[in-house]
Amino acid sequence: MRIGHGYDLHRLVEGRGLFLGGVKIDYPRGLLGHSDGDVVLHAICDAILGALGAGDIGQHFPDSDERFRGTPSGELLKHVAKLLLDEGMKVVNVDVTVCAEQPKLAPYRAAMRTRIAALLGVAAEAASIKAKTNEGVGPVGEGEAIWATAVVLLDEV
Ligand code: MG
Could you give the CA distance from residue 20 to residue 145 in angstroms, rounded to a whole number?
13
Calculate how far, in angstroms, residue 66's C-alpha sits from the geometric centre of ligand 1: 16
Calculate how far, in angstroms, residue 41's C-alpha sits from the geometric centre of ligand 1: 8
Are the beta carbons of 41 and 22 closer than 8 angstroms?
A: yes
Q: What are phi and psi of 146, to 5 degrees?
A: -130, 140
DSSP 8-62: EEEEEEETS-EEETTEEE--SEEE-SSS---HHHHHHHHHHHHHHT---HHHHS-
Classified as helix, coil or strand, 150 is: strand
Calculate how far, in angstroms, residue 10's C-alpha sits from the geometric centre of ligand 1: 6
pLDDT of residue 70: 86
Calculate how far, in angstroms, residue 33's C-alpha sits from the geometric centre of ligand 1: 7
pLDDT of residue 119: 97
Task: Give the residues across from 147 on adjacent strands.
Answer: 9, 99
Say what the pTM is: 0.97
pLDDT of residue 68: 87
CATH number of 2-156: 3.30.1330.50
Give me the tens of pLDDT residue by residue for the chain, a chain 157 residues long: 999 999 999 999 999 999 999 999 999 999 999 999 999 999 999 999 999 999 999 999 998 999 889 899 999 999 999 999 999 999 999 999 999 999 999 999 999 999 999 999 999 999 999 999 999 999 999 999 999 999 999 999 9
